[in-house]
Structure 1
Amino acid sequence: MGENKSLIKKDSSNTNNGYESLPLSYSPNDTNLILSNTHKNLKNTDNSASNNDNNGENDGNNERESSKTPLLQSLQDSYLFKTSKKKSSFLYQNIQRIWTYFPEDDTTNKNILAWFIYLISSEPFIVSIISTYMPIILETFATLNAVKVKDHSKPCIDDFSLVFQDKNDKCVLPIAGMWYVDPSSFALYVFSTSVFFQTILVISISGLVDNFNNTIAFKKKVMFFFGILGAACTILISLLYNSEFYSLAVLCIVSNCCYGVVNVLGNSLLPVILNSAIDTNHQEQGKKINELTTVISGKGTSLGYLSALLVQIICIGLIKKTSVAKPTMTNNLKSLKIAIFFVGLYWIITQIPILFLLNDVKKPDEEETEQQKMTLNIMKTNVVKSWKTLGQTIIHASSLKQVSIFLVGWFVISDSITTINSTAILFSKNELHMNTINLVFVSVSSLIFAIIGAFFIPSFLIHKFSLPLNKLMLVIIIWACFIPLYGILGFVFENIGLKHKFEMYFLAVWYGLSMGALNAVSRSIFALIIPSGRESIFFSIFNITDKGSSIVGPVLTGLIIDKTHQIRYSFILLLLFLVLALPIFNSLNVEEGKEEAQKEALFLEQVI
C-alpha cells in the first residue's frame, strides 16, 4: 500500500491524463471499477515502479480491497487539487452549465461562451445609445447651435441657464450655410443616414466574409475590428465640444455602422459554431443543431437583454450622481456624455474576452491550409459577388407570393414601429420637458415590457381565442395603433393626448408589449412560409427589409417636423403606416405560404 501511495504521488503531475474520468461524487458500487482503471493508468505511467511492485502484488491487492475508501478519497483529493478550487464549487459548476453543451469539446464550449459575451457586450449599445441617447444628444447639439426661424442672425438659445427651450421659440439648424432644419429633424436625418450606410456596409462585409473566408477565426477578427472602432467612436462622442455637431453626426453614423457589422456577423456565428461541433451529414444530428440553436439563442437573447437593462440602470445612477440641483441644458448634456462614455467603455472592455475564447474547431484528420491573403482586388471581387447574390435572392423570393406579401407588410409596419421610438423620445424631451433620467426610465420600461410581450402576448391570444397567426398579427397591429392615435388626441383635448409625463410612461409599457409581440409573431410566421434549408438566405432578406424601412420613416417624419415645427403632426404619418399594414397582413395566407415553401423546397432538392 505504501508503494501504491508513492505511485499516486509520482503521477500527480499528470492528473488530467490519468484521472480525467474520476467523478467528484461516488458510490460504493463504483469503487471496483474506479480502482481497476486507476491501477491501469498508474501502471502505464511508470513501468519501472510497476516492475518493483510484482513481488508484493497479492498483498497489495488484499490491502486495496480492504481499504478502498481511503484510496479513492486520496485520488479525489489529488484530482480536485489539480483542477482548481473554482471547479469544485457548486456555484461555478452551475454557472459553467450555461455554456457547456459539449463536455468533451472544450473549444466549442468556449466558442458558445464567446457568443454569449458578444451579446452581453453589444446589446447595451443598441438599447442605450441608438434607442435613447443618440436622439437626445443629436437634438441637444442641434438646439445649442441653432438660430431662430424668423431671424437667422440670432442664436436659438440666448440664455444657457435654461433647462429647456421655450415652446414658442422655434429654431432651425444651419447646415453648410445652405439648408435649415429643425433640431429634432436633424436627429432623425442622422439616424436615417446611419441606417442607409449601415445597410450598404453590412451587405458588403457579410458577403465578403462568407465568400472569402467563412471561418470562425476570420469572423472574430472582423467583429473585433468593427467592435473596437464602434466603441471608440462612442467614447469620442462623449468628448466632443458642444459646437461640433458635424463631428457628432459622423461619429453617430460610424458607430451605428460598426454595430450593424458586429450584429450580423455575431448572429451568423452560432450556426457555424454548432456545425463545426456536430456532423451535419446525418438527419438526426441536423435536428440536434436546430434544437441547440433554439436553446442557445434563447439564452443569449436573455443575457443580452439583462446586460442592456443592467447598463441602463448604471447609467441612471451616473446621471443622477453628476446632476446638479438646478440643472441647465449644458449640465444635462454633461451628464449624458458621462453615460455615453460608460457605454462605450463597457463595449470595449467586455468584447476583449471574445478575442481569446473564439477559435476554429480543429478536427483530428484536418490538415492546416495556408490562408489566402486579402488584397483590394479580392475584396472588390467578393463584395460584387455578395451584391449579385443578394439580387438573385430577392428575385427568387419575389416568386413566392406569400413571402412577398409578408415582406411588403413588414416593411410598412417595421417602419412605423421603429420611428415611433425616436419620435417619442424627441417628443418627451421637447414637448413634455422630460429630463434625461425620465427618458431612460421610459426606455427601461419599454425594454422590460418588450420581453414580457414577446413571451406572453402571443401565447395568451392563441390559447384564449384560438387565433391563426395572420389574425394574431392583425390584433397586435391594432393594439399598436393606439400609440400614435393617443398622440393625435392632443390636437383635440387639453388634458389628454400626451399632455403629461405620466402618459408617456403608460405608452412606454403599451409600446413595449406591442413591439415584443410583433417581433415574436413576425419571425414565427416568416419561418413557416420560407423553404426549408434556405432559412439563412431568406432571413437575410427579412433583416434587410427591416433595416431598409428604418431609412424611410425617419426621413418622412423629419420633413413633417421641418414643415410644421411640431413633432405631434408626425403621429398622423405613423398611424397611417400602421393602418396601411392591416389590409396587407389580412391578405396573407399562412397555410398557402406553407404549401409554397414545401413545393419550393422539393424543387430545390431536385435541382441541387
Structure 2
Amino acid sequence: MAYDDAARTARYEGEDVSKTTERELKGWYFTGLAAEIFAVCGVGSFAPVTLEQLARESGVLKSDGVTPCVQAVSNNSEKLARLLVRAADEGSDAGACVVHPFGRETSTASFAMYTFSAAVFVQALTLVSFSPFADYGTYRKRFLMTFAFTGAGACMAFLLIWPQIYLLGALLTVVGVVSLGSTFVMLNSFLPLLAANHPSANDLDVVDSDDGGKSGASNQGTSAELKLSTQISSKGVGLGYAAAVSVQILSILLLVLLKKLSFARESTPLRCVLLMVGVFWATLTVPGALWLKNRPGPPLRLFSSGGDGRSRRTPVVFQYVVFAWKTLWDTIKTALKLRNCWVYLIAWFLLSDAVATVSGTAIMFARTELQMGTIAVALLSITATVSGIAGAFIWPKISKRLNLPTRSTIIACMLGLEIIPLYGLLGFLPAVKSLGWGGLQQAWEIYPLGVVHGFVMGGISTYCRSFYGEMIPPGSEAAFYALFAMVDKGSSAVGPAIVGLIVDRIGTIRPAFIFLLILIALPIPLVYIVDIGKGRADAAALSRHLSGRAGASVSMDNYRSSQEQGTEAAEGLLRDDYDR
C-alpha cells in the first residue's frame, strides 16, 4: 500500500518521517512474535527443565558425593526400576542430586534458578550499556537484529551441550535471556515511531480525559498516537501469544515422539526441542530484517566538546561505555523531572513484581500442593497463553465499548488479577474446606484461574507499554524503554523471594495468597493518579526545550493545538532545572 509523504515535520536532520506502511508493521509483528516464542517455549518452559536435567546427568547423590544421579541402563525393566527408586527418594537427602559449579555444592533443582538470576543481572547491565545507542543513527534496527539472531543462535546451540559441559548450557541461557530482553526493548522503542508516522495518526478521535473536566494538557486523555500504539501493541501481543501456543504444542508433540526413541540421555529430546524453538525464532525474525525501516535517530557524537585532544586519545570502547552509563543517569534524572512518568514507573515496578510473583507462586502451588505433573503444568501454560490471546484482542473492544480511558483499563486488569489470590484464600474457610473443592483444593480448579490470569495479562501486556510510551520525551524512546525494562526485571525477584520466606517460615504456600492480594493492590492508586495528558505535555515540553538548547529545530506538530497551553506551562516549570 502506498502512502502520501509524511505531514509531520522532521525534528532533526536525517529523521525518517515517511509514513508507516503495512509491510513495516508486519516486520515489527514478525520480530515480536518470534521473540515471544522463545519467551514462552524457551525461558518459560523448556530451558529451565533442560538445565536441570543436564546438571542432573552430570551430578552425584548428595548422600555420598560419588554415586551418579543418572546411571546408564541396559533394558526397560532396569530403567523402570531406577525410575521407581528415584520417585521414592524424591525430596529426601538420599535422593538429592548435587553438582559442584566452581567448587560450590549446588542442588540441580537450584541450578536453573541461579542461572536465571544471573541472566537477569547481566541483562540489566546489557540494557544499560547498549540501549541508549538505539536512539542515535541506525543503531536501533542493527541492535534489534543482532540481539534477535544471537539469542536464536544460543537457543539452537543447546543441541551441542552434553552433561559434562552443562556450565556452557548455563552460559547459553544467559545469552538467550539477555538477547530476549534486549530484543523486546528495541521492539518497544519502535512502537512510538510507528504510531507517530502512521497514516491515520491524525484521523483518530481523541476520547475524553481520565480526569473528567480538566482543561489544558490534562484534557487529552488518549491521543491519536496512544490509540494507535495500543492497537498495534494489542495485535502484536495477540500474534505473539498465538505463535507461542502453536510452537508450544509442536514442542510437546516433538518431545513425546523423541522419548519413544529411547535416547540414552533424557536431556537429548529436550535439547532437540530447544533447537526447534531457536529455528523458529531465527526464521520468523527474517521478515523484520527485511521490512522494518531503520528510522534513524540523530547522529551520535562522543566527547565532541573536548578541545584539548584528550577525547581523541580515549579508547572508543571506553567512550561508548561512559556514554551509555551517563545516558542511564541522565534518563533517570529526566524521568524524575517528569512527575507522571516516575509515578508510573513505581507503579510498574510493583505491578511487574506482582505479575512475576503470581506466575511463580501458581506453578509452585500446582507442583507441591496440588501434586500436578509436568504435562499438566504444560497444559496450564497453554491454557493461560490461549486466554492471553483472547485478552489481547478483547480488552480493546471492552475499552472501546465502555469508553474506558487507558488508565481505567489497566486498573480493571489489576482488579481482575486479584481474583486469583482471593480464590486461593477461600481455602481457609471451614465451610469451603468441608466441600473438598473450592479455594484451590483440587487440581482442576487451577485451570479456570489460568484463564483469568492469561486474560488479564493480555490486557496488561497490551496497554502498559503503550501507556508508558506517551510519557517518553520524543527522541528518547530506546533509553526510556530500557529503563522500563530494567524496572521490570529489577522487581522480578522481590516478590518471589518474599513468598519463599513465607513458605520457609510457615511450611505451606497458601498463606502467600495474602501477600499476593496486597502486592497486586499496591500499584492501583499510583496508576489512578497518573495524568496521561499532563505527562505527555511535560515530555513534549522537555523534548522541545532540550532540543532547542542544543540548537536543533524541533517540531511537535503531532501534538494537538489544545495541548499548547499545558506544554508551555510545563516548559516554564522545567526551564530552571535544565538551563545551564
Length-normalised TM-score, structure 1: 0.65
Picking from 89, 103, 120, the partner of 2:33 is 120
**2:457 is equivalent to residue 515 of structure 1:** yes
1:265 aligns with 2:265: no
Moved more, 265-274 or 182-191: 265-274
Contact 2:230–2:466 at 8 Å: present in 1 too? Answer: no
Structure 1 position 546 matched with structure 2 position 480 = no
Structure 1 counterpart of 2:281: 347
The answer to whether structure 1 residue 131 and structure 2 residue 44 are counterparts is yes
Of 150, 154, 158 in structure 2, the residue corresponding to residue 233 of structure 1 is 154
Q: Supply the distance in 2 between the matched residues of 1:292 and 1:245 (Cα, whole angstroms).
A: 45
Residues 393 and 357 from structure 1, CA distance in 2 versus in 1: closer, same or farther, beyond 3 angstroms?
closer
**1:102 — aligned with what?**
3
**Partner SS for 2:83:** coil
Q: Which residue of 1 is the match for residue 255 of structure 2?
A: 319
- With 492-501 and 352-361 compared, the bigger mean Cα shift is at 492-501
Q: Distance in 2 between matches of 1:464 and 1:278?
A: 26
Q: Which residue of 1 aligns with 2:320?
A: 382
Asked if structure 2 preserves the Cα contact closer than 8 Å seen for 1:192 and 1:554, the reply is no
**Which residue, out of 383, 406, 416, partners 1:476?**
416
Q: Distance in 2 between matches of 1:534 and 1:361?
A: 11
Shift of 1:252: 0.6
- Distance (whole Å) between structure 2 residues aligned to residue 172 and residue 226 of structure 1: 35
1:124 deviation in Å? Answer: 0.7
Hey, what does 2:219 align to over in structure 1? none
Per-residue Cα deviation, 1:437-479 (whole angstroms, up to 9, x for no partner): 4333222111111233345468769978999838636623422
1:136-167 Cα distance to aligned partner (Å, 9 max, x none): 22333344445555554555557864287444
> Counterpart amino acid of 1:202?
L
Contact 1:277 1:361 in 2 (8 A): no
Shift of the 574–338 alpha-carbon distance from structure 1 to 2, 3 Å rule, reads farther
Q: Shift in Å at residue 314 of structure 1?
A: 1.9
Gaps of at least 5 residues in structure 2 are 6-17, 72-77, 206-222, 297-303, 305-312, 542-566
Q: Is the 8 A contact 2:151 2:177 kept in 1?
A: yes
Residue in 2 aligned with 1:452? 390
Matched, 1:338 2:277: no
Alpha-carbon distance in structure 2 between the residues aligned to 1:589 and 1:254: 37
1:315 aligned partner, one-letter code: S
Residue in 2 that maps onto 1:196: 121
SS in 2 for 1:244: helix
Conserved? CA contact 1:531–1:597, under 8 Å: yes
Does 1:207 pair with 2:121? no
Larger mean Cα displacement after TM superposition, 433-442 or 464-473? 464-473
Amino acid paired to 1:576: F
Unaligned runs of 5+ in 1: 1-99, 363-371
Tell me whether 1:407 sits opposite 2:342 in the alignment.
no
Measured after TM superposition, the shift of residue 125 of structure 1 is: 0.8
> Given the alignment, which residue of 393, 397, 401 partners 2:331?
393
Give, in whole Å, the separation in 1 of the partners of 2:123 and 2:295. Answer: 31
Distance 1:376 1:255 in 2: 32
How far off is 1:481 after superposition?
2.1
Change (3 A) 1:279 1:391: farther
**CA distance in structure 1 between the partners assigned to 2:434 and 2:70 by the alignment:** 30
CA distance in 2: counterparts of 1:269 and 1:405, whole angstroms: 23
Aligned residues of 1:120 and 1:308 also touching (Cα < 8 A): yes
Matched letter for residue 481 of structure 1: P
- Conservation of the 8 A alpha-carbon contact between 1:481 and 1:579: no
**For 1:169, which of 92, 101, 104 is the aligned residue?**
92
Instruction: Specify the SS of the correspondent of 2:92.
Output: coil
Q: Distance in 2 between matches of 1:391 and 1:234?
A: 33
Q: Distance in 2 between matches of 1:466 and 1:482?
A: 25
Amino acid at match of 1:102: Y
Checking the alignment, whether the CA contact within 8 Å between 1:112 and 1:270 is kept in structure 2 is no
1:75-86 map, 5 Å: none
Contact 1:412–1:578 at 8 Å: present in 2 too? no
CA distance 1:238–1:346, change in 2 (3 Å): same
Which residue type is aligned with residue 387 of structure 1?
W
Q: Distance in 1 between matches of 2:69 and 2:237?
A: 43
**Structure 1 residue 400 displacement after superposition:** 5.4
Matched-pair identity in % = 26
Secondary structure of residue in 2 paired with 1:102: coil
Matched pairs, number: 486
Cα distance, 1:255 vs structure 2: 0.8
- Greater CA drift, 547-556 or 253-262: 547-556
The superposition leaves residues 88-126 of structure 1 with CA deviations (integer Å, 9 ceiling, x where unpaired) of xxxxxxxxxxxx463898995543332232123222111
Contact 1:275 1:289 in 2 (8 A): yes
Does the aligned pair in 1 maintain the 2:389–2:458 contact within 8 Å?
yes
Higher relative contact order (Cα pairs below 8 Å, separated by 6+ residues): 2
Give distance in 2, aligned partners of 1:305 and 1:593: 28
| TM-score using structure 2 length | 0.68
Q: 1: distance between equivalents of 2:200 and 2:459?
A: 35
Amino acid in the other structure paired with 1:169 = S
Spell out the pairing of 1:13-32 with structure 2 (5 A cutoff): none
The C-alpha deviation readout for 1:179-213, integer Å capped at 9, x for no partner, is: 444443332222222122112112221112324x2
Whether contact under 8 Å (1:234, 1:341) holds in the other structure is yes
Alpha-carbon separation, structure 2, partners of 1:510 and 1:403: 29
